[in-house]
Amino acid sequence: METIKQRKRGSLIIISGTTCAGKGTVINKLIERNKNLQLSISYTSRPKREGEIEGKDYYFVTQDEFEKKIKQDDFLEYAKVHYGAYYGTPKKEIENLLAAGKDVILEIDVQGAQQVKDLFPETILIFILAPSMEIVKERIKARGTENSEQIIKRFEKAYREINEINKYNYVVVNDILENAVQKVESILISEKCRVDRIEEIAVENQEEIIHEFLMDKNFDNSTKTII
């Protein structure tokens, strides 16, 4: 008989981070290496970027379609994140994955993280930070997908979000990718050992175990002590 029975339901993990902190890369590595981890695919009303794949990066919908889904209560959380576009986490898919014992990662912003934490206080919240804003600047320049107005908006949001880091349980600086991935893995391993994940403690009858022990023929009698 196993001494403890742990919750079978998967863990809900939020990973947020400032723009260009490399959280996407960290998450891809985590998923590659941990078969029980699953990334939730969000819905968004923002236009698809070159190279993005429907159903892999996002489910791309129009603003009207997104608002219809809000009315249908299809989202666990949603927020207007960049340039007035909606981003939202589908509710049913997450519920099914957690019930099947999968650990689910939501890569969402601070507003969404707050909504999910209010609904499920046991959510694990991790914030990924770039080593410096100077590095963020270089990475945005290298990506070259945004105009200067969009870059300024992203920077403003990054500075706002850094001030909300205290809403999170953990912060990981992504200086060296492998180290950052290992840190997140360690957080997830520790979280699995939390006492509040125990559903039941079941130990065999104490007297029975002692009796069996004393009666064991292979046991050297001379060392038996009377309790």
Contact positions vs ligand 5GP (CB under 6 A): 16, 42, 46, 77, 79, 81-82, 87-89, 107-109, 111-112
* Between 7 and 151, CB nearer to ligand 5GP: 151
What is d(CA 46, CA 62) in angstroms, rounded to the nearest whole number? 8
**Residue 86 β-bridge partners:** 80
Query: In whole angstroms, how close is the CB of 203 to ligand 5GP at the nearest point?
Result: 43
> Can you point out the beta strands (E) in 30-163?
37-39, 43-44, 59-60, 75-80, 86-90, 103-106, 124-129
Instruction: Return the residue nearest ligand 5GP (CB atom).
Output: 112
Query: In whole angstroms, how close is the CB of 146 to ligand 5GP at the nearest point?
Result: 9
> Can you point out the beta strands (E) in 19-74?
37-39, 43-44, 59-60
Cβ–Cβ < 8 Å for 114, 3: no
Cβ–Cβ < 8 Å for 187, 115: no
| Residue with the two structure tokens 């902190």 | 21
* Between 89 and 174, CB nearer to ligand 5GP: 89
Query: In whole angstroms, how close is the CB of 85 to ligand 5GP at the nearest point?
Result: 7
* Between 10 and 17, CB nearer to ligand 5GP: 17
Query: In whole angstroms, how close is the CB of 40 to ligand 5GP at the nearest point?
Result: 8
* Between 102 and 153, CB nearer to ligand 5GP: 153
What is d(CA 220, CA 209) in angstroms, rounded to the nearest whole number? 17
* Between 103 and 107, CB nearer to ligand 5GP: 107
What is d(CA 90, CA 78) in angstroms, rounded to the nearest whole number? 9
Query: In whole angstroms, how close is the CB of 97 to ligand 5GP at the nearest point?
Result: 15
